[in-house]
Every structure is written in structure tokens, then in C-alpha cells.
Amino acid sequence: MAHYLEEEGLATVGISLVRDNTERLRPPRFLWVPFELGRPFGAPDEPEFQTRVLREALALLEHNGPSPVLVDFLEDVPSGGGDMSGWACPITLPKAHDARISELLSLVLAEIKSLAPWHQIGVDRRGRTTSGVLGIPIEAVATFLHDVFNCVPESPKDGVPVGQAFRQGCEELKTFYLEAAMAKPGSAKSSELADWFWGNTAGGRLILTLHPVALESSDEGIQQVAISQMVPRAQKHRLG
């Protein structure tokens, strides 16, 4: 779209969450940001930080050199300090950090069962959910992801390549957890919620443990998800 608008004399600028895609498409002016998918300005309720992101993006309009221009935004989202003192998970979850691969699926399914009432409260309160893209129960999403440990499974959705379904599955599992967590009264920063999911749940441990397996997958689509979309930059210290 940017190329067409530029041909008509309109200068454009954009924000990229997936650097590889932007490098391939070569739009005229883009700012790459190291944030979670769906959060191009970083975190909600951080207006000063969001304004800095916006200003850096708009500043690319003043670039007089050749295009394409791809500039990195080097700041991470403001941290809540990691202690989560102002927020707590609505339920007590078992420790999953040292779980074996064979145990992960049962732990994730148990967490889903425990979180389901809170997820429904959140859906009723907001009147919507952003999960359900694959059109299968969240338990089936977790099973599909776990299958990647052993093979390249069939896509659970007709017409959707398995790599795209894998990306959607990772996002859908994370979204289910976060929507359930946000149903508890009280406020929590996005960094607190992210630290909770990636550092304290079997769901987060499942995706982290899958990462090296997906990198070596025989399916190119699954590989690409692992390279650039699977684990946010701010959580990559948990890999390995």
C-alpha cells in the first residue's frame, strides 16, 4: 500500500513488528520496534513512551536520502520491575519451569481448566475475545502446539498453512492466558502480564521449550515463526 501511495505523491511511514517481512517488502520508510505482536506502540497506559515511538516514526518523513529506510527503535517497553507487587494471578498455578516435555501438555491443560472461569468473566465483562482465530477449542490449540515436538502436524484449519496456524496457535494460547489474568480486578502493566505468562505458566514454558524445535522444523513456515515471531525480544532471555 505504501508503494502505491508514494507513486501518487503521498509520503508514507510505518511501524514494523516483524523485521524480516519489512526487509522483504521494502516499504519506503519504516520504524522497526522490538515489541510484542499487536502492540506497535509498546504498552498501553504509557503515553509518554508511546509518543516517543510515534515521533521517531514521523521523523522518518524528514529523511532526504534514498529509500527504502528501515530504522530500529532501540528502547524496550517500560518495565514494571518484575516483582509484580501490584498484581497477582487470579489462581495458584503449579510450577512448570522444570517440567519435562512429556509433562507439559497435561500441565497446560490443567492451567487452561483452572483459568477458564476467569477467561469467561473477562469475555462477559468486555463483550468479546480476541482468541478463537483457529476455530478450535483452546485445549486443541495446546495439543496442536505440543504435537510439533514430534512431527509437523496437519493444520487444524482448512486453507491455512501449518506455519500460519502455528503462529496463530502460539498467539491464541498466550491471549487466552492474558485475557483470563486481566479479568481479576485491579490493574496490571503489560510487562507484568508478560513476565507472568512467560516466566510462571506452563503455557509460556510450552512455547519457550518449543522454540528450538521449531527452529529446526522441516516446515519452513514453522521455522520462520520461530525466527521472528514466536518469543518477544523482552522475553528471549528465558530461552536456552
Question: Helix or strand or coil: residue 216?
Answer: coil
Return all residues near 181 (Cβ < 8 A) that are at least 6 apart: 89, 90, 115, 118, 188, 193, 196, 197
- Give the mean pLDDT of 76-97: 59
The answer to whether 195 touches 131, Cβ cutoff 8 Å, is no
| Banded pLDDT at 77 (limits 50, 70, 90) | confident
* pLDDT computed for residue 15 by the predictor: 93
- Give the mean pLDDT of 28-37: 85
* pLDDT computed for residue 112 by the predictor: 95
Tell me, what DSSP letter sits at residue 237?
G
* pLDDT greater than 90 at residue 111: yes
Over residues 119-155, the pLDDT tens digits come to: 998 888 888 888 888 999 999 999 999 999 999 999 9
* pLDDT computed for residue 82 by the predictor: 41
Q: Which residue has the higher pLDDT, 56 or 19?
A: 56
Beta bridge partners of 32: 16, 72
* pLDDT greater than 70 at residue 83: no
* Burial of 28 per CB tally in 10 Å (0-12, 13-18, 19+): buried
Tell whether pTM > 0.85: no
* pLDDT computed for residue 186 by the predictor: 62
- Give the mean pLDDT of 151-170: 95
Over residues 180-206, the pLDDT tens digits come to: 988 876 667 777 888 889 998 999 999
Secondary structure (DSSP) of 82-132:
S--TT---SS-----TT--HHHHHHHHHHHHHHHHHHHHHHHHHHT--S--
* pLDDT computed for residue 37 by the predictor: 67
Distance CA 47, CA 114 (A): 34
* pLDDT computed for residue 88 by the predictor: 60
Return all residues near 133 (Cβ < 8 A) that are at least 6 apart: 168, 171, 172
* pLDDT greater than 90 at residue 53: yes
Nearest CA to 176 out of 199, 197, 205 is that of 197
- For the chain, give the mean pLDDT: 86
* pLDDT greater than 60 at residue 84: no
Nearest CA to 208 out of 240, 234, 177 is that of 240
* pLDDT greater than 50 at residue 156: yes
**The C-alpha cell that represents 60 in the structure block:** 522518518
